[in-house]
Each structure stands twice: as structure tokens, then as C-alpha cells.
Amino acid sequence: MPLPQVTQTYRDPHRYPMGIAFLDDQYVPMDQAKVSVLDYGFLHSDATYDVVHVWQGAFFRLDLHLDRFFAGLEKLHMSIAYDRTAVTEILQNCVALSGHQDAYVELICTRGNSPDFSRDPRNAVNRFMAFAIPFGSVANKTQMERGLHLAISDRVRIPSSSVDPSIKNYHWLDLVQGLYDAYEKGAETTLLINNQGNIAEGPGFNVFAVKDGFVTTPDSGVLLGITRQTVFDLCAELGITCEATQISRDELIAADEIFISSTAGGVMPVTRLNNAAVGDGQLGLVYRQVHQLYWDKHKDPAWALPVKCS
């Protein structure tokens, strides 16, 4: 399917402060982007998506996000009318038209719906959409400076035997319930457990523990985050051992440092867990090293793809 021609250079971000979306083969302001209430993405959470961020005018690790998105389509028996090159162009256009040099960019495929409202997913017409909005973070400025406050919930994250965690999805009710558990404990966000009772993940982020200079992260019941993989890559470059394994509640509580990772914010510190200080309660050395290298890599051409402005 040919793409609409876009020749505009970067727009004034004040013109489209909410961003730009692409759906039904056209680019529209975010407040005009609509999804049918009959779409199974809405009714059944039957969808997959991915999120990549743009920082100072460049996509970060876009290739890995596209790998995961197209793999998710295949696993869910979905198809779209655009190949990787076309999707990249759509994302480029969304960002350029939005005018935002720092952006949160999402691409989505829903199951769509069928003309006769059949419940057979094979009869549905899949729907692709994308959008670029101003960059957002799991942790705000204050939380980045002093560290997030987390609480471990007793909620069990949807097990991989039920939903393949390698497919990025919108199944968040367990995470939302976990958030309310955390709020009741005076924390800012939450960590859920896996079906073995060990640490899993939080709402939109993976977690890392540091003990005696070694870094670990949960190996099951979690989304295989692109920023999670980036932390492995950064640790290897820094000469820091990082491995995926089971992490018990007690092991996380005893950690010298804790940090989280997400496309929405990068590598972010945690200084309180279950109303107690993590380590000495300050931002840790390993976190600082990984965090600094993470943002340095945004200037590396091997990791960053500039947004085309025309």
C-alpha cells in the first residue's frame, strides 16, 4: 500500500502539542485519532504494540523494537499492509509532523473487527496505527533525583504459560491492581511476583538488583524489554556481570541497589522498597554508571537513527 506523501519539515511543536497519529492511511492530530468500540483490540485486549522513544531528534534502538513488533504480529496471526521500511517511514513522519524532538512513539496492531461481528479472529481485519507524542517517563524529575519508592505486591503477574510475555500486550489489570496495592502502602509504584512467588516486573518496566557489584534481573514472567536488553549490553561494555535469574523477595529487599528500565524513561533509580531504604538510600554507583552510559549511547550512530526532517 503506498504511503501518503509527507514533505513537511519539523513542525512547530506548539502547533500539535498532543502529537500526531497515523491511522486509516492518514496523519491526524492526536485528538482526532479514534478507534471503534467494536475493535477487538478494545473489547478483548486483542492487540500487540511497541514503543520506541526519540531523543534529541533520533530514534533509539528502533531496529530492536521493530524486530519485536513484527515477531508479535506473526505469533498472534496478524498482518499489516506495511513492511519494516514503510513502518519506519510512518514513524519518521509522525515525529517530524509532530515537531517534537523528544517523543514517545507507539505502533499498534489490533485484531480489528469483522463486518458480521464474528467471534472468529480469522474473520477480523487487522488494523495498524501509530502515533508520536511528547516524551514521557515512568519516573518524574523529582523521582529521578531522589529515587523511586516501590512496594512489592502479592499480585501474581500473568504467567507465561497463559500469555507469551515476548508479545508486548495491553493485559494490565494485574498491574493496575498492584499499583493500588502500592498506593495503599504509601509507595509510588509496584512490583508483581511470578507464579513461583519471586519478583517479576512492574507496570511498564523491568527491575534490576545489585548485590556486591553483580546485577541480576528476573528471568521469567516478564516482558523481554528492549531497555532491559540494553542494560545487559551496557553492563557488558562496563565489565559488570549481569544475569537473568530468579530473585526472591528477600533477595531484592537485601539488595545494595535497585533500578528499573523502560523505554519511557530509560534507566531509573529506586531508593525505597516496602517503606525501607534500599542500601544506603542514595543513588548507587552501578546505577549511575549504567544510567550515564545509557544516555551517552543516544549519540552513537550504531544505536540512534536520526529523524528525517523532510
Q: Could you please report the per-residue DSSP string of 215-265? A: EEEE-SSS---HHHHHHHHHHHHHT--EEEE---HHHHHT-SEEEEEETTT
Strand partners, 108: 49, 129
Q: What is the pLDDT of residues 49-93, one digit of tens each?
A: 999 999 999 999 999 999 999 999 999 999 999 999 999 999 999
Mean pLDDT of 126-132: 98
Whether the pLDDT of residue 4 is over 70: the answer is no
What confidence category does residue 13 fall into, taking pLDDT thresholds of 50, 70 and 90?
low
**Domains contained in the chain, CATH given:** 20-136 (3.30.470.10), 141-298 (3.20.10.10)
Q: What is the pTM of this model?
A: 0.93
The predicted structure's pLDDT at residue 2: 52
The predicted structure's pLDDT at residue 115: 85
Whether the pLDDT of residue 257 is over 70: the answer is yes
The predicted structure's pLDDT at residue 7: 45
What confidence category does residue 221 fall into, taking pLDDT thresholds of 50, 70 and 90?
confident
Positive or negative: CA dihedral 34, 38, 43, 49: negative
Whether the pLDDT of residue 22 is over 90: the answer is yes
The predicted structure's pLDDT at residue 292: 98
Q: How far, in whole angstroms, is CA 150 from its chain's centroid?
A: 18
Mean pLDDT of 131-143: 96
Lowest mean pLDDT among 117-126, 170-179, 247-256, 288-297: 117-126
Neighbours of 125 (CB within 10 A): 12
Q: In the chain, what percentage of residues exceed pLDDT 90?
A: 90
What confidence category does residue 310 fall into, taking pLDDT thresholds of 50, 70 and 90?
low
